[in-house]
Structure 1
Amino acid sequence: MSAAPIAPGDGENYWRDGRPPYVPKPAKLPAEVDVAVVGAGFTGLRTALELARGGRSVAVLEAHDIGHGASSRNGGMVGPSFHKLGMAGLTSAYGEAKAAAIMREGMLALDHFEGFVAAEGIDCALTLPGRFRGAPTAASYEATARECERLSKAVGLPFEMIPKARQRDHIGSDFYEGGVLYLRDGGIQPRLLVEALASRAEAAGAMLFETTPVSGMKREGDRIALRLPSGTLLARDVVMATNGYGAPGATAPLGPRVVPMLTGVAATEELSPNLIRDLTPAGANFGENRRVFMWFRPTPDGKRFIFGGRLGPMNGSREARARAVRASAARVFPQLSDVRFSHLWTGRIAYTRDHAPHLGKIDGVWFAGGYCGSGVTRSVYFADKIARRILGRPDADTAFDDLPFPKVPFRPFAPWAAVALTRWHAWQDARDDRRRG
């Protein structure tokens, strides 16, 4: 009989386990600031840091606690975070030059992220061992090879195609028909980055306010009035950095233009060193080329594995979620068929109609978000660009600036449509798996 999928004493978010909450410095909410930043995740905290260093008075308004949202709940995977449509899809939509420019932003974002972490001396367990992305079919392997060749030519992507004959050098699985190794991908401990950004923002003079949701905004002369539980805050500039955690009305312009999607994450109990080496011989992180894909990686201490994605019933019981994650893990790693999970948590990602992240200013409000599940490097990079624009500094442009960012039609119903589409795609993946078997 298989062991129960949840270990005794299971916790919630692995990244926060054993870490005390970040406690902001006591501060009285002022009547007016230069900039109000809504959301205390990667985007909001990095924006606040740069603005405070630039001499602006900044208040960061967080509805829950610091780093409550995706910034403390994600998989901590870093890389170029290329556009979901790929070079072929982007070229069809925008032309070859624009497609290359958009993809190049991914490389620039990764360069910026690495440079920022190094310059700030941030210890967030950043390593770049590469990421193996498995191809479920031979046709998928060939399509991946063609796309990587396009990216190598257009933006200098470093990669290596790994045929099935050499797959075991990188992943302890025979499930895939080979794959690609993205040589510059890696991972971090995301909660450490949240805490580092918060402490640096406060040291620069930014004020952080928890349990301070924004319920509405309106223009009053040359200021924007933000409605808060304790009253009204006036700001010359407002930055919306809520990504998938904002209400459509209260967090315009970002809220009405993204679809929040719930994803699940699970961390295993501690595994033996030999089993960890078997799962990831070179210490790489992993993804896969499927309609409903799973990402997975070792924890920074090399003692556990984390699996994430839209796996199983997101709103189901903990036992049902654990069984679904274990089934997906065992699909790739049969040696984990009896694995138990010590931590299970969920988080929201934000998708956009064009599968692209966006930043800019609409109706007088700055925003950055819609990261489509790949926001670690993008958020830090976009935050720097937004801060530069507010401060009037150079090097603030990106290839995303002129992309239209339409609202999501029937926005209140979009999350349910996303769930239905995910189930359809999961059925298609399962059908393909049966055909392979």
Structure 2
Amino acid sequence: MPSNQVYWETIPTFEPEQAALPKRTDIAVIGAGYTGLSVALHLARAGRQVVVFDAGGIGAGCSSRNGGMAGPSFHKLGSAGLMARYGEEKTLGILREGLLALDYFEDFVKQENIDCDLQMSGRFRGARTAADYESTARECQWLNTNLGLPYHMVSQVEQRSEIGSDFYKGGAVYHRDGGIHPRKLVLSLARLAIAAGVQIVTDCPVTGLRQNVSGTELETPKGNIHAKEVVVATNAYSDGRTPAMHRRVVQIRTAAVATEPLPAEVMASLSPKGRTLGESGRIFMWFRPTPDGKRFIFGGRIGKPGGDLATQHRAFSASVNRVFPQLESVAFSHIWSGDVAYTTDHSPHIGFEDGVWLAGGYCGSGVTRSLYFGMKLARKILQQKDADTAFDDLPFARVPFKPFSRSVAGWMTKWYAYQDARDLKQP
């Protein structure tokens, strides 16, 4: 997939040695991103023979092109939406799982000595309206009371201490958030997996799955292989060749831009404390300093991701200048796009469906969750203790009218953007 993304600029391409396929393996993993490499690593360390396939290269999908935001990734429905659907006990379990995933992620990076520029510097989320500020304060207080989440609210008159903008009506600082270098993380995972004995086969799509009494026969351009168990970790890059995942997620295209290198004093003024940043809204923009602190990245469902670059540039310019008018004359050096996977219930999922193991549907918040789910899925396959998650009993429903889902998502994005614009006009 062609890419003009800033994460690839200084990190050399890593391609594993391509050995001949074995005729049989214990576990076949489809997808060499965060989830697939995580589950492969844990399975291999437990003594299983594991082969990982990817239609492109390592991390060719979202795992090397995402925003690199690390945090609890609670839930898209928020506490009120979860309470209405599942009740208090289940809601607390689902939200607590986000903190457990973050704890695991931090410990894993430290224990494995992974160089992925992890910086837990916190995140400031700006409130577009006074009503957003009040609802954010209520949600944060609930999370603090029930889960111990550290935060503090920042009034509009104080927000210059957090962001070089007067656009927001104040906001919240989440102290358990931070950022990583996505490409460094996925390549580090690949190296760990290879060292554990995992065979990674790149540029090799799995074109067919035929289940039988002893496992599954996988068809690939490089030959067929029989696996006792199959893990599908393709997430938003699923298609008809991995139907168990494909029929359960909606692929939504998002985009990102990086500015040209900015003077140190400008970088410091945009995010005085080096935090990652975001905003309220249905169609929101996320933004952050690059891990090396030399540029700013902005991303979201803005313009027509993946379309004409000039059109995309204009759309991002308007969104960026809305928040930072001082960047009006700053050029974007990189523009790229990619897919994220949403689900019908706005939850990630993990488990066994249609004869294969699945983990995915992260709804745009999968950096920490994917490594955690990979570990949990490996434990499930190995029938080890501590394999359960609060998501295990959530039905992973198929997407109705799947062939039209991407178009419907596009229409909904326009409708939500209209509602956001209307809200901004309110006094």
Q: Which TM-score band applies after superposition, normalised by the shorter structure? A: over 0.9
Once the two structures are superposed, the pairs formed by residues 282-361 of structure 1 within 5 Å of their partners are: 282-361=273-352
Residue 55, structure 1, aligned to residue 47, structure 2: yes
Q: Determine which of 190, 195, 198 is the counterpart of 1:206.
A: 198
2:115 paired residue number:
123
Residue 391, structure 1, aligned to residue 382, structure 2: yes
* Deviation by residue 1:409-435 (Cα, 9 ceiling, x = unmatched): 010110000001101111222223344
Q: Secondary structure at the match of 1:302?
A: coil
* Deviation by residue 1:384-411 (Cα, 9 ceiling, x = unmatched): 0001111222111000000111100010
Deviation at 1:110, TM superposition (A): 0.3
Distance (Å, rounded) in 2 between the aligned partners of 1:315 and 1:281: 32
Return 5+ residue gaps in structure 2 as ranges.
Answer: none
* Deviation by residue 1:294-350 (Cα, 9 ceiling, x = unmatched): 000001111100000011111321111111111111111111111211111101100
Residue 221, structure 1, aligned to residue 208, structure 2: no
Residues 403 and 186 (structure 1), Cα distance of their counterparts in 2 relative to 1, 3 Å cut: same
Residue 29, structure 1, aligned to residue 49, structure 2: no
Distance (Å, rounded) in 2 between the aligned partners of 1:67 and 1:300: 18
Deviation at 1:230, TM superposition (A): 2.9
Deviation at 1:361, TM superposition (A): 0.5
Report if the CA contact (8 A) 1:326-1:339 is conserved.
no
Q: Which amino acid counterpart does residue 236 of structure 2 have in structure 1?
A: G
Q: Secondary structure at the match of 1:97?
A: helix
Distance (Å, rounded) in 2 between the aligned partners of 1:97 and 1:353: 22
Q: Which amino acid counterpart does residue 314 of structure 1 have in structure 2?
A: P
Distance (Å, rounded) in 2 between the aligned partners of 1:173 and 1:15: 26
Structure 1 runs (4+) greater than 3 angstroms displaced = none
Deviation at 1:226, TM superposition (A): 1.3
Distance (Å, rounded) in 2 between the aligned partners of 1:18 and 1:77: 20
Residue 380, structure 1, aligned to residue 371, structure 2: yes
Report if the CA contact (8 A) 2:57-2:202 is conserved.
yes
1:105 paired residue number:
97
Deviation at 1:152, TM superposition (A): 1.2
Deviation at 1:55, TM superposition (A): 0.6
2:170 paired residue number:
178
Report if the CA contact (8 A) 1:214-1:228 is conserved.
yes
TM-score normalised to structure 1 length? 0.96
Q: Secondary structure at the match of 1:257?
A: coil
2:418 paired residue number:
427
> RMSD value over aligned CA atoms?
1.2
Deviation at 1:103, TM superposition (A): 0.3
* Deviation by residue 1:54-109 (Cα, 9 ceiling, x = unmatched): 11111000001111000001010000001111111101100001000000000000
Q: How many residue pairs are counted as aligned between the two chains?
A: 426
Distance (Å, rounded) in 2 between the aligned partners of 1:114 and 1:244: 25
Residue 137, structure 1, aligned to residue 122, structure 2: no
Distance (Å, rounded) in 1 between the aligned partners of 2:263 and 2:391: 45
Report if the CA contact (8 A) 2:259-2:296 is conserved.
yes
Q: Determine which of 268, 271, 294 is the counterpart of 2:262.
A: 271
Report if the CA contact (8 A) 1:224-1:236 is conserved.
yes
1:401 paired residue number:
392
Distance (Å, rounded) in 2 between the aligned partners of 1:195 and 1:315: 24
Q: Determine which of 387, 401, 407 is the counterpart of 1:410.
A: 401
Q: Determine which of 23, 31, 34 is the counterpart of 1:39.
A: 31
Q: Secondary structure at the match of 1:116?
A: helix
Distance (Å, rounded) in 2 between the aligned partners of 1:310 and 1:29: 40
Distance (Å, rounded) in 1 between the aligned partners of 2:315 and 2:329: 13
Q: Secondary structure at the match of 1:348?
A: strand
Q: Secondary structure at the match of 2:243?
A: coil
Distance (Å, rounded) in 1 between the aligned partners of 2:90 and 2:426: 38
Distance (Å, rounded) in 2 between the aligned partners of 1:184 and 1:435: 32
Q: Secondary structure at the match of 1:253?
A: helix
Report if the CA contact (8 A) 1:240-1:365 is conserved.
yes
Q: Secondary structure at the match of 2:166?
A: coil
Q: Which amino acid counterpart does residue 297 of structure 2 have in structure 1?
A: I
Distance (Å, rounded) in 2 between the aligned partners of 1:233 and 1:260: 29
Q: Determine which of 163, 170, 182 is the counterpart of 1:190.
A: 182
Deviation at 1:253, TM superposition (A): 1.6
TM-score normalised to structure 2 length? 0.98
* Deviation by residue 1:213-249 (Cα, 9 ceiling, x = unmatched): 11221211121111212332110010110010010x3
Q: Determine which of 371, 391, 402 is the counterpart of 2:362.
A: 371
Report if the CA contact (8 A) 2:306-2:337 is conserved.
no
Residue 149, structure 1, aligned to residue 141, structure 2: yes
Deviation at 1:209, TM superposition (A): 0.3
